[in-house]
Each structure stands twice: as structure tokens, then as C-alpha cells.
Amino acid sequence: MQKQASKNHSLAQKASQVSIATLISRLLGYARDMIIASAFGATMAADAFYVAYKIPNLLRSLLGEGSLSTSLIPVYTGYLARKEDKEAEELLGSVFGIFGLLFIALTILGIIFAPGIIRLIAPGFTADPEKFKLTLILTRIMFPFLMTVGFGAIALGVLNSWRLFFIPALAPSFLSISEILFILFLSSYFDPPIKVLAYGVLVGGVLQFLVQLYPIIKRSVSLRISFNFNHPGIKRIASLMLPAIIGLSITQINSFVDTICATLLTAGSVTHLYYGNRLMQFPLAMFGTAVATVTLPIMSEYAANKRTDLLKNTLSSSIRSVSFLIIPSAIGLIFLGRPIVQMLFERGQFLPTDTSAAYFALALYSSGLFFYAGIKVFVSAFHSLQDTKTPVKIACFAMLINMTLNILVITVPVLREKFSSAGLAGATSAAAGVNLLLLIFTFIKKQGKFSDGKILPSISKHIFSAGILAIFLYRANIFTSDFSVYLRTPILIFSGALIYFGVAFLLRTPELSLIGKLLRR
């Protein structure tokens, strides 16, 4: 029992490292978004950039960080655990060589077939030749971004296998830094100016890879590029990647369905959804993704040793830790989202009407924040058991729900008028709720109930504390409505945190003491 507690504490420590690195990365990301919003607002050029950026980003998610990293980790870790260092080095050489060829081929094909891809994912742009042409130019500039982040995904898998989480989590910061520097100092050299962002993304992708490559080289790991397609590790990675790619494809299809539907709505809808989603992603990455990243190798170790009881205890601890911080985050974004959007983005070309639309999307995205985080943790649990098919089947069903709701939003006049692009965010949250419930029920059906019985009591305390927080923020919002947004927002965030943690302390919420220990360390 003491060993398990130590493991859980180590899990929380590693997750906190990822959270700190993610905090730095996200703050730089929001600084970048503030600069972009001020320079380009929710204009035609901004819509073109975000659609163009989404295309190579899709392939990166499918073939890079989403599937390649998670498939590489258990296979590469296995060689390390068995002290087969030579085999491990040969595997890495083949991974870099074979997947490098794949990334290069996809980049060339993407540049050639970019017009057809844009017509597929942004049909609303075809009616505006100028917007379509600009999107095409930006897409072709940014497609090599796929190669840089693809290699970065391999490096991420290697570092996580070594239990090094901070540097991979910090690496995306260099993408934001590159974009910021390009906008501030090089915009005047590009026509149209939005092209500066595309080149900033490309350079940032290179930096993101190099910063992860350095600790690998420093560790004196040989990286002799090879193309051994018959290496058993390559075959195993490929077999694990296929269902993972299918599952991620479903997630990305959901995202693209949102984008397609948004292009059929009023101008700026794509950008409003982007900013709403970006703000929601902050606590999700800080807490949900961080915990899921760290628990995957830990639960994989338990699964390999047939210790399902310890795996379920780790899963329980993960869900409780995520719930403790995600639920109040959702409440905070729902009640404070408008002043946050206003404070961060409302300047220059980003108008008050854009603030309202982006906040509405943020609020509906945030309503599903716990669902998104829970999905990440439970999918890691299934993957640790080498069951990649179940999450895919469930995600397919959830995708159909999301698509159906999206179609209703854009075709039913009353829904289109009342919700507009925010309705697409609400549809995504509703589908995520169904996805999480099915994952939970299926996991219990296959593995049995959680042995520690702590999840429901803990989450009940979290919900009660968050309810008190919601009442406080609702009243405080009214009382401080005349305050400057730059004064009001940080005051309400700080006082809201005190209220939530204070109530949690009175309820003797166990997750609070764990966080206290981490902060003291």
C-alpha cells in the first residue's frame, strides 16, 4: 500500500512537471494569440490561416504525437527494460528513417493536392476566390511543418520512455516564440502580411524538434538512420498505430466537421471557434493531458505485470486528480470567460462582437471540459491494456452524434440564429459526454469495478466545492461589472481559487493535501 502511495505521489510529481511546462507553453501561446488577434482580428485572412494551419496539423496529430509517440513508447520501453540497448538503437534508427520518408512523401503530396484538400474541408471558401487563393498559398507554405513535428513526435516518445516529460512538454513554446518574433519584426516584409505567420509556424516546428533532439544526442544515443522494415519493433509499432490512427481520425473528423460547418456560417466563425477552443484547451492540457501523458507508461507497466488492481488504483487516482482541478476550471471559464476573452484579445481588429461570439463558444466548450479530460485518461488506460479497438468503436458512435448535432445547428433556422458557431462547440461537448460514459461502462464491464471506491465520493466533494464557486462568481460578476477588465479578471480568478480551495479544505478533500505536498516540494 505504501509502495502504491509512493507511485501515486511520483505520478503527481511528474504530472506537475508537465503542467508547469505546459503553463509556460500556453502562456506564450496566449501571448501569440493576443498579437495575432490584434493584428488580424476575425478577418478573412485569419480564417484562411486557421484553415490552412489545420491541414498539416491534422496529419501531425494522426501520424505524430497522437499515434506514433504512444505506439513507440511501450515498444521502445520494452527493449530498454530487457537491457537490449543495441536493438533499441536499431529501432530508433529505423523509426527515424522509415517515418521520415513517410513524412516527406506526405508533405510533397499535400503541397500538390492542396486545392482539393481545401475544397473538402472548407467548402464555404470556394465562393470567395480571394479567400480560397490565400488559403492555398498558406497551406503550401506550412505543409513542411508536418515533417518537423513528425520528427519531434519521435523524440517525444523517446524522452517519455526515459521518464523525461518536462522538455517535450516545453517544446511547443518555441513554436509560439517563433510566431511572435516573426509577427513583431518581419510582418512588413510580407504581402499579404498574414504570410508571416505561416513562415513563423515553419521555423517554430524546426525549433520544436531541435530542442527535443538535444537531450537525446547529449545522452550519447546513436542515431544511425536505417530502413529496416523487417525489424520486429517496427512491425509492432505499425500494428499499434493503425487502430490509434483510426481513433484519432475520428477525433480529427469531428474537428473538421466543426470547421466545415463554421465556414458555412457568418464570416469570422472559424476564428471564434478557434479562440474559444484555445482557451478551453489551457486547463485541459495543464491537467487532463498532463496526467494522461504520465499515466500511460505507469499503467502499461502494471498491465504488463498483470497487476490490474494497481492499474485501476492508478486510474482512480488520475481521475480524482483531474476532476479536482478540471471541474473548477470549467466553472471559471463559464463565468469569467467573457472578461478573459476581452482582456486577452479585444483590441485592434478584434471587436466586441468577436468577444461575445468567442466567449459563447468558450462557454459551451467548457461545459464538456471534464468529459474531454476523462476521455484522455480512460483512453490511456485502454491503450495500456493494448486494447486500442474499444476506444475507436466508442469514438465512432460519438462522432455520429457530433455530426448529427452539427447538421441540426446549421440547418435548423432557430438553432442557427440563436447559437451560430457556439452551437458547434456545444455539439462537441455533448458528444464527448456520451463518449466518456461509454468508455467508463465498457472499462467496468471488461475489468470490473474500481477497487478503491474513492472516485464518486471525491468527485461529489469537487462538484459541491465548484457549486459554491459558481454562486460566488455569479454574484461577484454583478458586483464588479463596472471595474476595469484588467483589474476585475485577475481579482475574480484569485478570489475564486481561494473560495474553491477553502471549501475543499473544509470538506477535507484528499486531493487538496496532495497538491499541497507538491507545492511545498
Q: Is residue 261 part of a domain?
A: no
Residues 6+ apart with CB under 8 A from 451: 309, 312, 313, 316
Query: What's the confidence (pLDDT) of residue 129?
Result: 86
Query: What's the confidence (pLDDT) of residue 10?
Result: 59
Query: What's the confidence (pLDDT) of residue 1?
Result: 45
Q: Is residue 11 part of a domain?
A: yes
- Counting the structural domains of the chain, the total is 1
Question: For residue 259, what is its C-alpha cell?
Answer: 470547421
Query: What's the confidence (pLDDT) of residue 47?
Result: 83
Q: What is the 3-state secondary structure (H, E, C) of 196-227?
A: HHHHHHHHHHHHHHHHHHHHHHHCCCCCCCCC
CB 41 within 8 A of CB 207: no
Q: Is residue 111 part of a domain?
A: yes
Query: What's the confidence (pLDDT) of residue 64?
Result: 62
Asked if residue 192 has a cis previous peptide bond (ω within 30° of 0), the answer is yes
Q: Is residue 163 part of a domain?
A: yes
Strand runs (DSSP E) across 300-341, as ranges?
none
Query: What's the confidence (pLDDT) of residue 367?
Result: 92
100 vs 95: CA distance, rounded Å: 8
Q: Is residue 183 part of a domain?
A: yes
**Which portions of the chain are predicted below pLDDT 70?**
1-13, 15, 42, 62, 64-66, 81-83, 220-223, 247-249, 251-252, 256, 304, 450-452, 514-521
Q: Is residue 430 part of a domain?
A: no
Query: What's the confidence (pLDDT) of residue 215?
Result: 86
Question: For residue 27, what is its C-alpha cell?
Answer: 502562456
Query: What's the confidence (pLDDT) of residue 237?
Result: 81
Query: What's the confidence (pLDDT) of residue 2?
Result: 45
Range of the structural domain that residue 100 is part of: 1-40+44-245
Q: Is residue 138 part of a domain?
A: yes
Considering the entire predicted model, what is its pTM?
Answer: 0.73
Q: Give 360-381 pLDDT, tens digit per residue.
A: 899 999 999 999 999 988 988 8
Question: For residue 464, what is its C-alpha cell?
Answer: 459541491
Query: What's the confidence (pLDDT) of residue 90?
Result: 84
